[in-house]
Amino acid sequence: MKKIIIALLLGVTMVSVGQEKVLLRLNYEKGDTYEMNMKMSQNMGATMSMNTNMIMLQDVKSVSGDEYEIDSKITKIVMNMSQGGMQMSYDSSKKEEELDQTGKMMKAQMGPMLQAVITTKGNNLGKVLETTVVPNVPGASDLTQQSSSVIYPENEVSVGDTWTMNKDNKGMKFNFVYKVKEITLKNVLLDISGTVEGMATGSITGSMNLDKKSGLPLTSKINMAMKVQGQDLKTNVDMTMVKK
């Protein structure tokens, strides 16, 4: 009888853990600082390849009700590109005399982005309400859009639940599907799938590890296999977020 009771208790415990529901929200606190590290690789066979590593500091300037305001500043960019047999590279941490001619050209283009402050206003679901860049540097907001993450559902979720998010960018529509894979004591693990439509067509796969308390994505991996004007393009984006 004792063994039966223990077995029943274990069964109830496992069921209750499996049915745990979590309300996913961004719980920023004023004064917090985060470092985001994004690594992106794009490959179009022998035609073109590009690897980018960007580090960005994010300062939480204010939190009011369900809304927040964050100042972001790019602190480092490393780019290596191959196109038509020509190699180009740029590392913002190097002095100008350490760069080759193409690196100096890229420094002139990318340098202003390192001086810009990108202010983002959003809500605790992760939806961006407003973005401003000072000084107004073309392309700076595009980098933050690439690093922007998931928008959470209104309701609580449990293991097996899914929700969708759509994002339009430069003639392409990205349709993401997020599925709760596992809920642990401190984290929520998601599987990511989806499709790409428009100027490019293809599929999306990936995963995300959320901090249960803050709601922030600690790690994110997005893989996209697309066709652009008949050519295959593979894009992989890995991100990590660390509280400083």
Is residue 180's pLDDT more than 80? yes
Choice between 71 and 111, residue whose per-residue pLDDT is larger: 71
pLDDT at 9 over 50: no
Task: Lowest mean pLDDT of 95-109, 118-132, 169-183, 199-213, name the range.
Answer: 95-109
| pLDDT band at residue 144 using 50, 70 and 90 as cut-offs | low
From the list 62, 56, 63, the residue with the least C-alpha distance to 37 is 56
Q: What residues pair up with 83 in beta bridges, in sequence order?
A: 48, 86
**Under 8 Å between Cβ of 38 and 146:** yes
What integer is the mean pLDDT of 235-243?
95
Question: What percent of the chain shows pLDDT beyond 90?
Answer: 59
Q: Global pTM?
A: 0.85
Within 10 angstroms of residue 15's Cβ, the number of other Cβ atoms is: 9
What pLDDT, on a 0 to 100 scale, did the predictor assign at position 142? 65
At residue 160, does pLDDT exceed 80?
yes
Pick from 100, 154, 146, 102: which is nearest to 124 by CA? 154
Give residue 161's pLDDT band: very low, low, confident or very high (50, 70, 90).
very high
Is residue 139 scored above 80 in pLDDT?
no
Pull the structure tokens for residue 146. 């690439």
Question: If you average pLDDT over every residue of the chain, what do you get?
Answer: 87
Helix (H) or strand (E) holding 113: helix 101-115
121's tokens: 């206003």
The predicted structure's pLDDT at residue 66: 94
User: What is the rounded end-to-end Cα distance, in angstroms, of the chain?
Assistant: 53
How many Cβ atoms are within 10 Å of 8's Cβ, its own excluded? 10
